[in-house]
Amino acid sequence: MSQILIAEDELRIAAFLTKGLRAAGYAPIATADGAEAIDLALSGDVDLLILDIGLHGPDGFAVLRAIRQAGSTLPVIILTARTSVQDTVAGLDGGADDYMAKPFRFEELLARVRLRLRSETTSADATTITAGGVTLDLRTRQGVVDGRHVDLSAREFTLAETLVRNAGQVLSREQLLSRVWGYDFDPGSNVVDVYIRYLRNKLGPEHIITVRGMGYRLAAD
């Protein structure tokens, strides 16, 4: 299980990322302190760093500079409210692998996390996930259901991936909204039900089960 370090001083966002990454199968650890972030990043126990610029103590740029000067090749995704061209260039020139501006969509961040972690391995198995007769290719963003190829929109694919990664587990509408649509989701929205219907039409109704009063789950093998 990949361990992801979250260096973020906004507690709400740090908690949201921790919850979402854990649900996606990762082992997150969070800190708001720049000095601690440097120590954790250089510990050898972390596989990827999600780095905010506005940290307590050394800021994100200083953290990035310190770990690169120490020779670390740890993948780093900068996540910050600073969106100027100068800040973006400074982050990338400083050794960041990617740069995302706040507010962000969790699905996009998760895709970038997967991309950076996959670049660390040549395993072909890392490019596909399978459960309950549904196979998803994480490179082509296409699905195969019982041997039948299925074209999915970006949102449908992310929803399907969430269900496949949690096959057999009931996910509430709120959990799906948070993981697929981001931390700024509207809890009163019916968008989950709409996209579940889209997926059922494409994957087959037998693959996605409604658990009344609780949510949805992908039928396990």
CATH number, domain with residue 90: 3.40.50.2300
Which of the residue ranges 92-96, 165-169, 170-174 would you say has the lowest mean pLDDT? 92-96
Same domain, 101 and 156: no
Same domain, 101 and 148: no
| Interval 145-168 mean pLDDT | 87
| Interval 35-61 mean pLDDT | 91
Closest CA to 106 of 28, 38, 40: 28
Q: Cβ–Cβ contacts within 10 Å for residue 129, how many? A: 17
| Interval 14-39 mean pLDDT | 92
Same domain, 109 and 147: no
Determine the structural domain holding residue 58 and report its residue range.
3-118
Same domain, 7 and 63: yes
Angle in degrees, CA 54, 103, 120, rounded to 5: 75
Closest CA to 9 of 91, 102, 112, 117: 102
| Interval 212-219 mean pLDDT | 91
Q: What's the pLDDT score for residue 125?
A: 46
Same domain, 111 and 8: yes
Please tell me whether the overall predicted TM-score, pTM, comes out greater than 0.75 for this model: no
Closest CA to 95 of 117, 73, 110: 73
What is the Cα–Cα distance from 190 to 178, expressed in whole angstroms? 13
**What is the DSSP-derived secondary structure letter of residue 55?**
-
Q: What's the pLDDT score for residue 37?
A: 94
Which of the residue ranges 34-38, 44-48, 217-221 would you say has the lowest mean pLDDT? 217-221
What is the Cα–Cα distance from 118 to 127, expressed in whole angstroms? 8
- Span 99-110, pLDDT tens digits: 888 878 888 888
Same domain, 133 and 114: no
Same domain, 45 and 13: yes
Q: What's the pLDDT score for residue 124?
A: 40
Closest CA to 173 of 192, 159, 196, 160: 192
Which of the residue ranges 64-73, 157-166, 182-191, 199-208 would you say has the lowest mean pLDDT? 182-191
Same domain, 103 and 151: no
R_g of the chain computed on alpha carbons: 18
What integer best gives the mean pLDDT of the chain?
A: 84
CATH number, domain with residue 154: 1.10.10.10
Same domain, 114 and 7: yes
Q: What's the pLDDT score for residue 126?
A: 55
Q: What 3-state class would DSSP assign to 218?
A: strand
| Interval 141-148 mean pLDDT | 87
For the chain, how many structural domains are there in total? Answer: 2
Same domain, 80 and 161: no
Domain boundary among 118, 148, 164: 118
Same domain, 131 and 169: yes
Domain boundary among 102, 118, 134: 118
124 near 73, Cβ under 8 Å?
no
The yes-or-no verdict on residue 1 having pLDDT over 90 is no
Same domain, 81 and 111: yes
Domain boundary among 118, 149, 178: 118
